[in-house]
Amino acid sequence: MPSVEENEAQWNRNYDWEAAGEEWSSHWGGVQTQWQATLLPRIWPFVPTGTICELAPGYGRWSQFLIGLCDRYVGVDLASRCVDACRERFASSEHATFEVNDGTSLPMLGHESVDFMFSFDSLVHAEADVIARYLSELARVLAPNGIAWLHHSNLGEFRSEFRRMRHAEAVARRVTILQSALQKRGLIGSRHWRAESMTAARFAEMTFDAGLSCVGQEVVNWGGSRLIDCISVVARPGSVWDRPLEVRRNPNFMDEGASAQSIAAVFTSLMGRGSG
């Protein structure tokens, strides 16, 4: 169960940011194709817009695209190391700022000031108490017709299954051959440091408790067949985006990465050759 303190230690001190986070896009053949094939098709109804806030941008893997889609961009991360790297990387973007927070609150954002809040591949490590605090802050900072697009854990749906897997891991550590066999079958080592207390259903409930409306959820697989992640869309009740919750379970999410790898190998690899 990654706590705020464990997340801060992992991303601020322990993790090797040599590849600037782009290593997590390798399944898609790179950051560019992951953005074009998977993220942009899901957020295009909401951008371009006025003010974008990105939660936990890391070294700016998605910031590089979001900054060009708004009048004002604010990146907020609990890791000062990441904030420093982004300030240096995007120093020429005068409308972009990066701020350090405590991992739960957004004091740098004004009342109803955010048109689009975005987080991908970061809040999956946040447990329910952290998500609840961010939703409370979202209720304060979201503009009347603002919207949030948040990628979080659904690992809690498989809690009993993963509890059994932890027992299998404990046994397998004592038998190398067994450990290798279980890993190949996806029976151990597939939690991806996801938050165990979070599910799609719980997120929707917490959104309602915060006085907001969860209008869409895509429950997706990650690194295997289990749907351990969810992308939720949040709006204000009565806003232009408000509607009954639409939930879809998508077991083919990771297949987009396999397709994007082909795009990257054949087409994206030609980028820049025609400008000479």
Residue 227 clears pLDDT 70, i.e. is over it: yes
| Tens of pLDDT, residues 96-153 | 999 999 999 999 999 999 999 999 999 999 999 999 999 999 999 999 999 999 999 9
Q: How does DSSP classify residue 218?
A: E
Average pLDDT over residues 214-219: 98
CATH code of the domain covering residue 54: 3.40.50.150
Do residue 111 and residue 136 come from a single domain?
A: yes
Model confidence band, residue 86 (pLDDT cutoffs 50, 70, 90): very high
The token duo for 218 is 């895509």
Closest Cα to residue 243, out of 217, 218, 215?
215
Could you tell me whether strands 142-153 and 229-235 are parallel, antiparallel, or unpaired per DSSP bridges? antiparallel
Considering the chain, what percentage of its residues have pLDDT values greater than 70?
Answer: 88
Q: Which of 172, 192, 212 is the last residue of a domain?
A: 192
Q: Which of 146, 171, 192 is the last residue of a domain?
A: 192
Residue 187 clears pLDDT 50, i.e. is over it: no
Do residue 15 and residue 122 come from a single domain?
A: yes
The average confidence (pLDDT) of the chain is: 91
Do residue 90 and residue 188 come from a single domain?
A: no
User: How far, CA to CA in Å, does 221 sit from each of 128, 209, 226, 252?
Assistant: 20, 27, 5, 7
Specify the pLDDT at position 192.
86
Model confidence band, residue 168 (pLDDT cutoffs 50, 70, 90): low
Q: Rounded distance, CA 266 to CA 73, Å? A: 33
pTM score of the predicted model: 0.90
Do residue 50 and residue 163 come from a single domain?
A: no
Lowest mean pLDDT among 29-33, 222-226, 240-244, 252-256: 222-226
Q: Is residue 276 part of a domain?
A: no
Do residue 164 and residue 28 come from a single domain?
A: no
Do residue 173 and residue 261 come from a single domain?
A: no
Could you tell me whether strands 114-119 and 142-153 are parallel, antiparallel, or unpaired per DSSP bridges? parallel
Say how many domains are in the chain.
2
Domain that holds residue 136: 4-154+194-271
User: How far, CA to CA in Å, does 43 sit from each of 95, 123, 144, 154, 192?
Assistant: 21, 17, 18, 20, 24
Query: For residues 271 and 205, which has the higher predicted lDDT (pLDDT)?
Result: 205
Do residue 182 and residue 250 come from a single domain?
A: no
If one counts every other C-beta atom within 10 angstroms of the C-beta of residue 1, the result is: 12
